[in-house]
Structure 1
Amino acid sequence: MSTTKWSVDPTHSEIGFKVKHMMFTNVSGQFTKFTAEATTNGDSFEVASFSFSGDIDSVSTGNADRDGHLLSGDFFDAAQFPKITFESTAFNKKNEGEYTLNGNLSLHGETKPVSLDVEFGGIAKDPWGNTKAGFTITGKINRKDFGLTWNSTLETGGVLVGEEVKLAIELQFVKQ
């Protein structure tokens, strides 16, 4: 079977995250500049490999001051660590249309193994004849595992920023 390359369609994809603020609400953000690729045997994603690279300076939470703080040395330190990357190590079927994606996530100078849940939406041709494949990816990481330790204590005894970061990713790939 021949190897097939797939490239992300950024206009139909999102790299999102949520983190607790003041212990009781979530702040959402996303990376707006990124690339992702998949390699498959033919059109089958059963043994696919995935890679991703995102520009840290494309982080957007809808608030310019917060985004500026995230880019600073308190958080991402975008000047020193301009990319977030992921390389898969395994893609295993759990149930029909459900997979576990394991790989190495590199962020802020640290590389750690992560495990993500994947829902495979299927493969279809778009109106222009392009073959597309869709995925919904979710998971959680602890930001402290990647050296993102800045916080502020609240008067109530809690902290301003939660440690757990929830990932919410939508990827649409185009067959090359």
Structure 2
Amino acid sequence: MSIATRPLSGTFVADQAHSSFQFAVKHMKVSTFRASFDDIDASVVADDQGIRLHGAARVESVSIKAPPEFREHVVHGAEFFDAGSHPQITVRSQDVELSDDGTVTVRGELTIRGVTRAVTATGSYQPPIEDPFGSTRAAFELNATVDRRDWGMDWQAPLPGGGDALGYDVELSAHLELVKQG
């Protein structure tokens, strides 16, 4: 069934058990470090025709899933998330484009460490379905690449053979399974 025949309408909220927010960054030029957050809250509100959509999300910085020594340095450290001063990461959409082929483009604002920057995410959209328990569900999978320096996370250490210990480009991904409210 095409997206045009099954529009998203109403208010949907993230099913936390089936939603995730992750990041990945190059580490020591040889591998990619990945981490995710446990505490996310997201919602999408669409008009009755499914034409105008608005989304928002909040991630608690301290809910990062990573080794304890990494959490202390990265989450609480001023060089990175500075969770003590900035406990939340937020996203607010300004424009959402759904295509009939299931692709989606979201333009919005990402706030990390109290700094807000424009960001564009692309990905896929699964139109609403009825689950076996009587709920209506839809899903978005979104990806974006950002430069961490845009949010004041500019820590770096040069490698003896050349290059940087930590990449500046950070891949963000959100997998949101949403449940219709009301």
1:70 paired residue number: 74
Matched AA of 1:135: F
Matched AA of 2:90: T
Instruction: Give per-residue Cα distances to partners, 1:95-116, cap 9 Å, x unaligned.
Output: 5211210001000121000000
TM-score between the two structures when normalised by the length of structure 2? 0.90
Q: Please list, as runs of the form range in 1=range in 2, the aligned pairs for 1:130-145 lying within 5 A after superposition.
A: 130-145=135-150
Deviation at 1:42, TM superposition (A): 2.9
Instruction: Give per-residue Cα distances to partners, 1:107-161, cap 9 Å, x unaligned.
Output: 0121000000020022111111110001111110110000011121111121111
Cα distance in structure 2, aligned partners of 1:25 and 1:113: 28
Match of 2:38 among 32, 42, 45: 32
Matched AA of 2:108: G
SS of the aligned residue for 2:52 comes to strand
Unaligned runs of 5+ in 2: 1-8
Contact persistence 1:4–1:43 (CA under 8 A): no
Flag the structure with higher strand content: 1
Cα distance in structure 2, aligned partners of 1:143 and 1:94: 30
Contact persistence 2:20–2:40 (CA under 8 A): no
Match of 2:111 among 94, 97, 106: 106
Asked if 1:50 corresponds to 2:55, the answer is yes
Cα distance in structure 2, aligned partners of 1:128 and 1:43: 25
Q: Please list, as runs of the form range in 1=range in 2, the aligned pairs for 1:139-158 lying within 5 A after superposition.
A: 139-158=144-163
Contact persistence 2:41–2:58 (CA under 8 A): yes
Unaligned runs of 5+ in 1: none
CA RMSD of aligned residues (A): 1.4
Deviation at 1:93, TM superposition (A): 3.4
TM-score between the two structures when normalised by the length of structure 1? 0.93
| Identical columns (%) | 27
Instruction: Give per-residue Cα distances to partners, 1:21-68, cap 9 Å, x unaligned.
Output: 012210001111010010012373x4211000110111123x211121
